[in-house]
Chains A and B, each alone.
Chain A
Amino acid sequence: MQLDAKIPDGPLEEKWDNHRFSMRLVNPNNKRKFSVIVVGTGLAGASAAATLGELGYNVKAFTYHDSPRRAHSIAAQGGINAAKNYQGDGDSVFRLFHDTIKGGDYRSREANVYRLAQVSVDIIDQCVAQGVPFARDYGGLLDNRSFGGAQVSRTFYAKGQTGQQLLLGAYQALMRQVDTGSVELHTKSEMLEVVKVDGEARGIVVRNLETGEVTSHAAHAVVLATGGYASAYFLSTMAKNSNVTAAWRAHRKGAAFANPSFTQIHPTCIPQSGDYQSKLTLMSESLRNDGRIWVPADPDDERAPADIPEAERDYYLERIYPSFGNLAPRDVSSRAAKRMVDAGHGVGPRKNGVYLDFSDAVGRLGQDKIAERYGNLFEMYQKITNENPYDVPMRIYPAPHYAMGGLWVDYNLMTTIPGLFSIGESNFSDHGANRLGASALMQGLADGYFVLPYTIGDYLAPHLGESPPPTDHPAFAEAEAEVRDKVNGLLSVNGTRSVDSFHRDLGKIVWDYCGMARTEQGLEKARSEIQALRDEYHKDVRVLGENETINQSLEKAGRVADFFELAELMTIDALDRNESCGGHFREEYQTDEGEALRDDEHYAYVAAWGFEGTGEDPSLTKEHLAFENVKLATRSYK
């Protein structure tokens, strides 16, 4: 496989502007002659579909939800970064770029990240104009707060519901285009195949989740905005329906999958309370602005938290990382929590958490101020744990939350299949080995509003005058047959175990061996266990009911089959990378103080994997990363 990242020439600050000028354009009257399929309606997909519709393209948008507004972007709590420097605290496009590259542990592309920082300011303008009710100060101007890995306040927020408000803004923009007729919306429609004609993506095959009907849709280009794959761990902060299927089916058709082992384990989630649990709940990182993290210094200390005197508490983040303190980046904070719990300092009935304590902040600012900032998060915590966090410190522990890895894309956000684009969390592009807080919303909207709508024109322009293939083209018939075979295959196994029970077992393997800490031996073990469980799955899964009505077991069964294949690739990728960087922590490679030890000489690359068949070794192509504007350094937050 050949990889060409297509990074424009010229100085970093001018690359995007130059590129926008040199790209081919489709004139306004010709845009209506092109059709584009957008799969997924989260921040990236909704913003892209809306913008493409505004520009005049014929857009078909697909989501498996009953409404575009349900996409999991809606659950993002804390905020969105932008280099506005409204606080006058020294922020700039270059600083946001630099923080993001460093936060990603130097495993992302300079040019992409710089462009992201550049367009971040436009996103805020756009969202405010849409009526997104961001938090404001008493003068009526926009307010900011701080997030991990940054020493400036650049995060815009709407209480603890920023993702919801941004998604509703994008959803409303999308529905406006549905109203004008430029976007045709297909809900309850799950994409199950990408269709290629003469090597280029020209359509998709979808299954209607209410009727089981399988249909083909053709277009000049296909955009996947289908989110991340942290549900591979089963227990995660992801929504129950989040899955890797669209991206994985594209991978099977030839799209390279990059850095699959780069997953983010978020430090502040409510610890697991039992084996019945179906998901874990995030407590926004913004809480670390005012909450202090600690554990009892004595592992055997059984006293209630309020009874443990100051001197016998270990505020370990403040102790180890004095300059960033409780706002150390996610990967660093998560590992520190794991070390504390592994060393026996864990708190709570299962000794599987650390305290996040607001008593100092309540004393300093008053309960009202804290309630204004985080009220809904405190209520959510209480509903789940039956404990009042104003009185008793929260208990938190890391949980899978985000995937930095994803489909490989070039600077234009096109995958290795011409005509197939990938945006938002479903691509790998901007976060390297660790994403900073409040940057996922930024990237989703940057891709959808401000990058893809330009770059897709450059791909489409030379195809003027061509029609998309008819949906009775043999390539569609073949893809439809594949989908039907898979569905019938899953329905006919008639084994003994539910889909969820397999997913839970798979998730435990991935969490134990490819989670917060990884070893060569463990990863090899995981790979063979995954293979064995996958074989059992296809022999023993039980999917009841039929194809022709709503069948949620059947939906899950197809997704879990893809998670099995992805999980194996995650272990292969983690085995390949004999270094520690960001969220990828190989125990063999650490400093004396237990920090990640990178190997820039051998591993400053993006690992792009090609699909060679289920159970076969995938092929590896390396995209070497050049750093011309930041100096590679050991990441320090001390």
Chain B
Amino acid sequence: MDLTLRVWRQPSPDAPGSFETYPAEDIDEHASLLEMLDIVNDRLTEQGVEPIAFDSDCREGICGTCGVMVDGKAHGPMENTAACQVHLFNYRDGDTITLEPWRARGFPLRKDLIVDRSAFDEIISAGGYVSVNTGSAPEANLTPVDKGTADLAFDAAACIGCGACVAACPNGAAHLFTSAKLSQLNMLPQGQPERYARTQRMVTIMEEYFGSCTNYGECQAACPQDISIDFIAMMNKDYRKSKFRNRRAS
């Protein structure tokens, strides 16, 4: 099929950027969006034009490396799908596709479609873990976890850290990302001892980089893993409680 691409090109963080138009002709409809970019990049290279820089790695929707606004939607038109899993049979011959980087204060742009998401790592390092040194763990089956809780913890833990929630949010908030990790750990027995200290620290770091949540719900709609905004409610509840608990503890 024949498509037309409008792509944001920006050579470096400080240089001005602009949209460029490229033809993407004679592409197999079974190719993925990113495979189409590979093909276009090979053709650009032949023509002496520097290829479009974009992030991707596993191309199975699990590593969270890829992330691009496709016609104004984070990861493109399909529900619960990362950009690497969008295939062209979802488009019509002759369509124009516009590709832009994630745009958010917490994600400074690096080049073309690539942004810096290291603020997510900072949020995790502020308490997104259970403090258990290697070798000090008790026998695994000593602590049963009811299946409902275990399954819900998994649903939260499924977050791939791609940043689509932030990109989709009109406020550039990272509440879905942060609450997913908090909810996973805060609902499991293993996560209880650090529950409130963790919550307060992670939320504080989150607020340094990202905007506020005003319940648009765009984050859940954009999430390739269908992470529920219910986790944001759980986080808010734990955050309020943490103000009392942590005061008492200190």
Q: Does B247 contact A (CB under 8 A)?
A: no
Mark each residue of chain B from 51 to 79: 1 if its CB lies under 8 Å from any CB of chain A, else 0.
10101111111111100000000000010
Are B64 and A552 interface neighbours, CB within 8 A?
no
**Does A175 lie within 8 Å of B121, measured CB to CB?**
yes
- Is B137 an interface residue, CB under 8 A from the partner? yes
Interface residue total, chain A, C-beta cutoff 8 A? 83
Interface contact A67-B118, CB-CB below 8 Å: yes
Does B222 belong to the interface (CB within 8 Å)?
Answer: no
In the complex, the answer to whether B137 meets A276 with C-beta atoms within 8 Å is no
Is B190 in contact with A550, judged by CB distance below 8 angstroms? Answer: no
With A125-B137, A175-B121 in contact, do A141 and B185 touch (Cβ < 8 Å)? no
The reply to whether B56 and A240 form a contact with Cβ atoms under 8 Å apart is: yes
Closest CB in chain B relative to A383 CB, distance in Å: 5
| Structural contact, B147 and A72, CB atoms closer than 8 A | no
In the bound assembly, the distance between CA atoms of A552 and B35 in angstroms comes to 15
Does A389 make an interface contact (CB < 8 A)?
no
Binary contact readout B150-190 vs A (1 if CB under 8 angstroms, 0 otherwise): 11011001101100000000000000000000001100101
**A552 and B53 contacting across the interface, CB-CB below 8 Å:** yes
Q: In the assembly, what is the distance between CA of A65 and CA of B55, in Å?
A: 10
B34 at the interface (CB under 8 A from A): yes
* Tally of A-B Cβ pairs under 8 angstroms: 224
A274 touches B58 (CB 8 A): no
Given A75-B58, A126-B135, the answer on whether A70 and B118 have CB atoms closer than 8 Å is no
The one of B65, B81, B116, B128 in contact with A175, judged by C-beta atoms closer than 8 angstroms, is B128
- Smallest CB separation, B233 vs chain A (Å): 20
A531 within 8 A of B: no
**Residue A135 CB within 8 A of the other chain:** yes
Inter-chain contacts of A185 with B (CB < 8 A): 121
A173 adjacent to chain B (CB < 8 Å): yes
User: Across the interface, do A549 and B134 meet the contact criterion of CB distance under 8 Å?
Assistant: no
CB distance from B228 to the nearest CB of A (A): 15
Asked whether A133 and B60 contact (CB < 8 A) given A65-B65, A66-B117, A549-B12, the answer is: no
**Does B217 reach chain A (CB closer than 8 Å)?**
no
**Other-chain residue from B135, B143, B147 in contact with A138 (beta carbon distance below 8 A):** B147
Number of residues on chain B facing chain A (CB within 8 A): 82
Closest approach, in angstroms, between the C-beta of A544 and any C-beta of chain B?
5
Q: CB-CB < 8 A to A67: which residues of B? A: 117-118, 120-121, 161
Interface presence of B216 (CB below 8 A) = no
Chain B contacts for A75, CB-based, 8 A: 58, 60, 62-63
Q: Are A164 and B135 in contact (CB under 8 A)?
A: no
* Neighbouring B residues of A135 by C-beta, 8 Å: 150, 154
A264 partner residues in chain B, CB cutoff 8 A: none
On chain B, the residues within 8 Å of A158 by CB distance are 154, 157
Interface string of B207-241 (1 = CB under 8 A from A): 00000000000000000000000000000000000
Whether a CB of chain B sits under 8 angstroms from the CB of A450 is yes
For A74, A159, A551, which residue has the most chain B Cβ atoms within 10 angstroms? Answer: A74
Q: In the complex, how many angstroms separate the beta carbon of B148 from the nearest chain A beta carbon? A: 10
**Residues from chain A with Cβ under 8 Å of B59 in the complex:** 239-240, 278-279, 281
Q: A158-B157, A179-B127 are in contact. List 15 more A-B contacts (CB 8 A).
A: A50-B134, A67-B161, A128-B190, A130-B129, A130-B132, A133-B184, A134-B150, A176-B129, A178-B125, A187-B118, A273-B28, A380-B85, A383-B81, A449-B134, A550-B53
List 7 contacting pairs A-B, 8 Å CB cutoff, sorted by A: A67-B117, A130-B130, A175-B121, A379-B80, A386-B87, A453-B134, A551-B53
Q: Which residues of A contact B (CB under 8 A)?
A: 47, 50-51, 54, 65-70, 72, 74-75, 84, 86, 122, 124-142, 158-159, 161, 164-165, 168, 171-173, 175-176, 178-179, 185, 187, 210, 239-241, 273-274, 276-279, 281-282, 379-380, 383-384, 386, 449-450, 453, 496-498, 500-501, 542, 544-545, 549-553
Interface residue ranges, B against A (CB under 8 Å):
11-12, 27-28, 30-32, 34-35, 38-39, 41-42, 45-46, 48-51, 53, 55-65, 78, 80-81, 85-87, 89, 110-111, 114, 116-118, 120-121, 124-141, 143-147, 150-151, 153-154, 157-158, 160-161, 184-185, 188, 190-191
